[in-house]
């Protein structure tokens, strides 16, 4: 085997993450940039695999030999000896996988200390207490993380000693106390595992390295990888062995953590904290208050300048904001870590755009540097971060639709509507929502449900509305009769205020202050770049002029899905819709439809006007008719009296319309095949509206077609209406949604008759995978946890299954019409990974909820740019 297992810091670089891990490769990169990094080497990920491949899971001899030779080089470089009684070489041992991955063993410091070298350390530092304290700390760390002894047992010995000495703080123990503690620790180790604490530094090192490798497969690490969908190719961790430097060697020593720019705002200001005479953990622990990094300039201008120089060099080199750690040992600056810094969405945008101005990034690189999912934060109202942090949440539900909402509690849609009319801000609280609640959902600031998942009715509709929603909050109990909400042990009544954070799922029992989003400046610049590079057309799902206006503000290029049934639910027309459903013959049905038509026409006119010539895909009536009928006894009675029909006849119709599997029932174009007069009315309303509004561009969409013949039957009706209204010159198209697998399978036949397709991937997923969106919550999360699906297929397109069907559709359709226009609407249209997939398979457009238009744009631009590469 001629494989190389161990690399000195001078042998690697930042591109070797998969061999050296993230931390290690960046240490190499800094070394090669001439930045002072404490010397060291990396036992590579290859060595980790070799360890796992060995039958007894131990380090292979060649690995041991290799790091031994690196250890010898280190001794030479430092002029110190490992375990030396005069001036011992001490090292830290740290894990480091290719991506940051909590759960594994973290760090062992001061490795190399033993009964001899502790004396050397004392001698060299002229600080006996420091040496023995380091030794006992090392034993404690090593004993716990390497030898797997309960950490509390060491703490107990420490506490016992303090009690014995009658002191309060560790710092009150002197060198002799600590010396005696070391002896107690030795006895403890022997007692616990029947072994001596290893005195040989090389044995310590071997054990440390093996412990890191072994921790790759401990439970926490496995769970972390599963939960975070870490790809299988990320396989193993490296071990970084590095010479110790000390920030706690007096007032000329210190340590700090910095970001090269402000991670919260993105401003180009050096940002960070430091503490003199301290170790890394002291900065984080919060016992002493660290100083802002700018204070270092006053304290030690030279050092500060050196640090700023490294900051500039690293940013220029990595062309990204860095999160760095440094230590000052007796006036000498060492860089211990650099990595890409975590930042808020606002900071992401600010930094990317600034870096283009500064010439550090190209526009394309800037576009690629931002996570589309993250900018969602910028598109919704948010709670004031500070206040929210200080407030305790009552419960956490599913973050179903982002944003912040504050309002008084209402328990039904009617109350929500009424109070909203009075100018009150309300939160609609329901066990679950149904289409009957639409008006109330629209009127509410936010929605809280106690049942249903991320794709429940409440969640889907709320996201469409860009409205804050927390779904499936199981810890909240609703008593609809008494109108109470019990949550976190408190009982809330109607009119009590609550606050919802739809991005985190947190529910608060108070009014929290809200901050509105601003989509200007850097954000606008970024979006202009995205527009420049994307290939996909980004449209929006919208049913109202208001939502359409919002989406246009966010850059939508038209409507990709206008659900006409949402208009059917409005109070002014729902009764006409019910009349239509209750009609016993075509004549009565037509009479009722005639009442709805002027409303529909006005709806479409409003939308066309806002669109100013941009196209609108208008879907004909889709849901099963029973959704329009009342459910509760008292509502049935009310409707009966309003429509002057008997309660029994309504109940009979409800029973007749009952379906075992409404998802697969009498809906979509099936309604129109059986009752063509419904499509006729809708087509008439569309054409009349289009004739009234300049440049209106309706694309009429027939839902749920699975067979070209059902499509053509309805198409003929629409074309006849167009002729009857002399609307042939309207700039219109007729097409279908691809929702039924059979439509995909016969896409060539359909394409011949259609002007466009739009994938309804929600339904396509339901049917292709055989999951009901309303029911799958019971097992789908577990399916994702078990890795059966990588991601929830209702959130990200299931490429291997549904995606294959989509590809087939595209290829069949384009075989018939090479330039055939194909898009996607529905939930997946707002998911960046799905948008990228849509780009890859050659779709023309993506439609998503208004508030996700910028996300989809950015994702589309990134997909196009990745494609360029």
Angle 586-611/545-553 helices, nearest 10 degrees?
30
- Out of 763, 833, 844, 845, name the contact with its own copies by CB under 8 A: 763
Q: Give yes or no for residue 770 binding its own copies (CB under 8 A).
A: yes
Q: Look at residues 374, 348, 379 and name the one whose alpha carbon lies nearest to residue 852.
A: 379
Q: Give the residue with the Cβ less far from its own copies, 372 or 706.
A: 706
Query: DSSP labels for 44-92?
Result: -HHHHHHHHHSTT----HHHHHHHHHHHHHHHHHHT-EET-SSSEE-EE
- Out of 713, 719, 725, 816, name the contact with its own copies by CB under 8 A: 713
CB 444 within 8 A of CB 407: yes
Binding mask of the shown chain, residues 609 to 648, with x at each position contacting its own copies by CB under 8 A? ----------------------------------------
Q: Give yes or no for residue 583 binding its own copies (CB under 8 A).
A: no
Q: Give the residue with the Cβ less far from its own copies, 493 or 586.
A: 586
Applying CB under 8 A, the span of 101-109, 178-186, 193-201, 761-769 interacting with its own copies comes to 761-769
- Out of 756, 789, 794, 851, name the contact with its own copies by CB under 8 A: 789
Q: Give yes or no for residue 141 binding its own copies (CB under 8 A).
A: no
Q: Are strands 697-702 and 733-738 parallel, antiparallel or unpaired?
A: parallel
Q: Give the residue with the Cβ less far from its own copies, 36 or 665.
A: 665
Applying CB under 8 A, the span of 300-308, 469-477, 537-545, 796-804 interacting with its own copies comes to 796-804
Cβ atoms within 10 Å of 7's Cβ, excluding its own: 24
Query: DSSP labels for 167-234?
Result: -SSGGG--HHHHHHHHHHHHHHHHHHHSSPPP--HHHHHHHHHHHHHHHTTSHHHHHHHHHTT--TT-
- Out of 8, 250, 331, 801, name the contact with its own copies by CB under 8 A: 801
Q: Give yes or no for residue 709 binding its own copies (CB under 8 A).
A: yes
Q: Look at residues 553, 450, 587, 452 and name the one whose alpha carbon lies nearest to residue 507.
A: 450
Q: Which of 825, 828, 838, 839 is catalytic?
A: 825
Distance CA(356)–CA(362), nearest Å, equals: 6
Length of the chain: 869
Q: Which of 457, 566, 626, 839 is catalytic?
A: 457
- Out of 1, 152, 520, 782, name the contact with its own copies by CB under 8 A: 782
Binding mask of the shown chain, residues 689 to 708, with x at each position contacting its own copies by CB under 8 A? ---------------x-xx-
Q: Which residues of 535-562 are buried (b: 16+ CB within 10 A; e: fewer)?
A: ebbbbbbbbbbebbbbbbebbbbbbbbb
Could you give phi then psi for residue 200, rounded to 5 degrees?
Answer: -80, 120
Cβ atoms within 10 Å of 234's Cβ, excluding its own: 15
Q: How far is the CB of 668 from its own copies (least distance, A)?
A: 8
Q: Give yes or no for residue 784 binding its own copies (CB under 8 A).
A: no
Angle 345-357/522-533 helices, nearest 10 degrees?
70
Task: Kindly identify the residues of this chain, within the stretch 550-569, that bind its own copies according to CB under 8 A.
Answer: none
Residue spans of beta strands (DSSP E) within 584-673:
615-619
- Out of 66, 437, 701, 710, name the contact with its own copies by CB under 8 A: 710
Q: Give the residue with the Cβ less far from its own copies, 504 or 707.
A: 707
Q: Look at residues 476, 316, 349, 331 and name the one whose alpha carbon lies nearest to residue 409.
A: 476
Q: Give yes or no for residue 665 binding its own copies (CB under 8 A).
A: yes
Residue spans of beta strands (DSSP E) within 651-713:
697-702
Q: Give the residue with the Cβ less far from its own copies, 351 or 625.
A: 625
Q: Give the residue with the Cβ less far from its own copies, 262 or 710.
A: 710
Q: Give the residue with the Cβ less far from its own copies, 706 or 832.
A: 706
Q: Give the residue with the Cβ less far from its own copies, 527 or 673.
A: 673
Distance CA(464)–CA(551), nearest Å, equals: 11
Applying CB under 8 A, the span of 298-306, 307-315, 352-360, 742-750 interacting with its own copies comes to 742-750
Q: How far is the CB of 639 from its own copies (least distance, A)?
A: 23
**Is the CA virtual torsion 497, 503, 506, 512 positive or negative?**
negative
- Out of 160, 510, 647, 800, name the contact with its own copies by CB under 8 A: 800
Q: Give yes or no for residue 788 binding its own copies (CB under 8 A).
A: yes
Distance CA(736)–CA(754), nearest Å, equals: 7
Q: Give the residue with the Cβ less far from its own copies, 331 or 665.
A: 665
- Out of 147, 291, 745, 816, name the contact with its own copies by CB under 8 A: 745
CB 347 within 8 A of CB 264: yes
Q: CA dihedral in degrees (55, 61, 63, 69; nearest 10)?
A: 170
Helix (H, G, I), strand (E, B) or coil at 108: strand
Q: Both tokens of residue 820?
A: 């055939």
Q: How far is the CB of 798 from its own copies (least distance, A)?
A: 8
Q: Give yes or no for residue 774 binding its own copies (CB under 8 A).
A: yes
- Out of 45, 90, 109, 768, name the contact with its own copies by CB under 8 A: 768
Q: Give yes or no for residue 486 binding its own copies (CB under 8 A).
A: no
- Out of 13, 218, 340, 746, name the contact with its own copies by CB under 8 A: 746
Integer CA distances (angstroms), 555 to 269, 382, 450, 516, in order: 31, 21, 34, 18
Q: Give yes or no for residue 776 binding its own copies (CB under 8 A).
A: yes
Q: Give yes or no for residue 377 binding its own copies (CB under 8 A).
A: no
Q: How far is the CB of 791 from its own copies (least distance, A)?
A: 13
Q: Both tokens of residue 818?
A: 């090479």
CB 499 within 8 A of CB 492: no
Q: Give yes or no for residue 754 binding its own copies (CB under 8 A).
A: no
Q: How far is the CB of 749 from its own copies (least distance, A)?
A: 8
The answer to whether 70 is a known catalytic residue is no
Q: Give yes or no for residue 787 binding its own copies (CB under 8 A).
A: yes
The answer to whether 457 is a known catalytic residue is yes
Q: Give yes or no for residue 778 binding its own copies (CB under 8 A).
A: yes
Integer CA distances (angstroms), 597 to 166, 603, 656, 716, in order: 88, 10, 26, 19
Q: Give yes or no for residue 767 binding its own copies (CB under 8 A).
A: yes
Applying CB under 8 A, the span of 213-221, 494-502, 773-781, 813-821 interacting with its own copies comes to 773-781
Applying CB under 8 A, the span of 94-102, 642-650, 667-675, 722-730 interacting with its own copies comes to 667-675
Query: DSSP labels for 299-359?
Result: H-HHHHHHHHHHHHHHHHHHTS-EEEEEEEETTEEEEEEEEEPP--HHHHHHHHHHHHHTT
Q: Helix, strand, coil: what percent of the chain each, to 5?
A: 50, 15, 30
Applying CB under 8 A, the span of 47-55, 185-193, 528-536, 666-674 interacting with its own copies comes to 666-674
Applying CB under 8 A, the span of 376-384, 401-409, 530-538, 800-808 interacting with its own copies comes to 800-808
- Out of 232, 674, 694, 729, name the contact with its own copies by CB under 8 A: 674
Q: Give yes or no for residue 837 binding its own copies (CB under 8 A).
A: no
Report, in angstroms and rounded to the nearest whole number, the Rg of the chain calculated over CA atoms: 33
- Out of 202, 224, 497, 666, name the contact with its own copies by CB under 8 A: 666
Q: Both tokens of residue 83?
A: 């375990």
Within 8 A by CB and 6+ apart from 807, the residues are 841
Q: Are strands 514-515 and 537-541 parallel, antiparallel or unpaired?
A: unpaired
Q: Give yes or no for residue 426 binding its own copies (CB under 8 A).
A: no
Q: How far is the CB of 801 from its own copies (least distance, A)?
A: 4
Cβ atoms within 10 Å of 412's Cβ, excluding its own: 17
Binding mask of the shown chain, residues 645 to 664, with x at each position contacting its own copies by CB under 8 A? --------------xxxxxx
Active site (catalytic) residues: 457, 825
Contacts with its own copies by CB under 8 A lie at 659-666, 670, 673-674, 704, 706-707, 709-710, 713, 739-742, 745-746, 749, 763, 766-772, 774-776, 778-779, 782-783, 786-789, 798, 800-802, 804-805
């Amino acid at each position: 085997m001629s494989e190389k297992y161990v690399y000195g810091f001078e042998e690697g670089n930042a591109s070797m993450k998969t061999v050296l891990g993230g931390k290690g490769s960046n240490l190499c990169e800094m070394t090669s940039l001439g930045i002072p990094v404490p010397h060291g080497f990396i036992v590579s990920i290859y060595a980790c695999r070799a360890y796992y491949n060995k039958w007894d899971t131990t380090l292979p001899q060649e690995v041991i030999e290799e790091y031994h030779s690196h250890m010898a080089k280190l001794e030479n470089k430092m002029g110190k000896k490992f375990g030396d009684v005069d001036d011992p070489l001490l090292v830290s041992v740290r894990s480091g996988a290719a991506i940051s991955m909590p759960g594994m063993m973290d760090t062992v410091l001061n490795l190399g200390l033993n009964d001899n070298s502790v004396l050397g350390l004392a001698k060299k530092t002229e600080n006996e207490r420091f040496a023995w304290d380091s030794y006992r700390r090392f034993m404690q760390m090593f004993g716990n993380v390497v030898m797997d002894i309960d950490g509390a047992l060491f703490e107990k010995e420490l506490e016992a000693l303090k009690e014995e000495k009658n002191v309060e703080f560790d710092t009150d123990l002197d060198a002799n106390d600590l010396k005696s503690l070391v002896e107690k620790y030795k006895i403890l180790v022997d007692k616990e595992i029947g072994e001596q604490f290893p005195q040989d530094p090389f044995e310590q090192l071997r054990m440390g390295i093996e412990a890191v490798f072994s921790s790759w497969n401990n439970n926490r690490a496995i769970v972390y990888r599963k939960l975070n969908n870490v790809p299988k190719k990320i396989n193993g961790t490296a071990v970084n062995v590095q010479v110790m430097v000390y920030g706690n060697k007096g007032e000329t020593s210190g340590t700090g953590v910095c970001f090269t720019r402000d991670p919260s705002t993105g401003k180009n200001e050096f940002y960070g904290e430091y503490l003199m005479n301290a170790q890394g953990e002291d900065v984080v622990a919060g016992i002493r208050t660290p100083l802002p990094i700018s204070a270092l300039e006053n304290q030690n201008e030279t050092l500060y300048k050196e640090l700023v120089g490294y900051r500039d060099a690293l940013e220029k080199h990595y062309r990204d904001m860095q999160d760095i750690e440094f230590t000052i040992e007796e006036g000498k600056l060492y860089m211990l870590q650099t990595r890409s810094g975590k930042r808020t969405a606002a900071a992401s945008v600010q930094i990317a755009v600034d870096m283009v101005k500064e010439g550090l990034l190209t526009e394309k690189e800037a576009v690629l540097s931002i996570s589309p999912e993250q900018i969602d934060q910028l598109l919704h109202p948010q709670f004031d971060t500070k206040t929210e942090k200080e407030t305790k949440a009552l419960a956490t539900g599913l973050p179903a639709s982002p944003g912040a909402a504050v309002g008084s509690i209402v328990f039904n849609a009617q109350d929500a509507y009424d109070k909203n009319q009075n100018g009150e801000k309300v939160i609609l609280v329901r066990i679950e929502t149904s289409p009957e609640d639409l008006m109330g959902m629209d009127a509410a600031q936010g929605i809280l449900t106690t049942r249903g998942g991320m794709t429940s009715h409440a969640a889907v509709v709320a996201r469409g509305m860009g409205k804050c929603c927390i779904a499936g909050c199981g810890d909240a109990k609703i008593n609809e009769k008494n109108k109470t909400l019990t949550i976190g042990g408190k009982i809330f009544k109607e009119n009590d205020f609550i606050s919802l954070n739809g991005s985190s799922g947190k529910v608060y029992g108070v009014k929290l202050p809200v901050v509105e989003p601003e989509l200007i400046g850097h954000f606008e610049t970024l979006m202009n770049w995205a527009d420049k590079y994307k290939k996909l057309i980004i449209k929006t799902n919208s049913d109202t002029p208001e939502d359409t206006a919002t989406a246009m503000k966010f850059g939508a290029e038209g409507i990709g899905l206008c659900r006409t049934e949402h208009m059917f639910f409005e109070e002014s027309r729902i009764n006409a819709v019910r009349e239509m459903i209750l009609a016993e013959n075509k004549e009565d049905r037509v009479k009722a439809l005639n009442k709805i038509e002027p409303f529909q026409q006005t709806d479409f006119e409003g939308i066309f006007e806002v669109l100013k010539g941009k196209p609108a895909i208008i879907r004909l009536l889709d849901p099963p008719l029973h959704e329009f009928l009342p459910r509760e006894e008292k509502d049935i009675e009310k409707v009966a009296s309003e429509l002057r029909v008997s309660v029994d006849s309504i109940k009979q119709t409800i029973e007749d319309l009952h379906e075992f599997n409404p998802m697969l029932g009498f809906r979509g174009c099936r309604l129109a095949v059986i009752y063509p007069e419904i499509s006729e009315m809708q087509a008439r309303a569309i054409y009349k509206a289009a004739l009234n509004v300049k440049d209106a561009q309706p694309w009429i969409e027939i839902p749920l077609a699975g067979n070209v013949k059902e499509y053509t039957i309805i198409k003929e009706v629409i074309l006849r209406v167009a002729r009857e209204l002399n609307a042939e010159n309207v700039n219109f198209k007729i097409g279908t949604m691809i929702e039924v697998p059979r439509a995909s399978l016969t896409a060539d036949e359909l394409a011949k008759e259609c002007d466009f397709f739009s994938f309804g991937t929600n339904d396509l997923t339901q049917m292709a995978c055989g999951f009901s969106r309303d029911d799958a919550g019971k097992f789908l999360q577990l399916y994702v946890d078990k890795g059966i699906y990588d991601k929830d297929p209702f959130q990200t397109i299931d490429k291997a299954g549904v995606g294959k069907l989509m590809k087939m559709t595209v290829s069949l359709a384009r075989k018939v019409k090479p330039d055939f226009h194909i898009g996607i609407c529905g939930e997946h249209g707002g998911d960046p990974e799905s948008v990228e997939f849509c780009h890859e398979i050659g779709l023309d457009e993506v439609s998503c909820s208004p508030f996700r238009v910028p996300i989809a744009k950015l994702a589309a631009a990134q997909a196009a740019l990745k494609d360029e590469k």
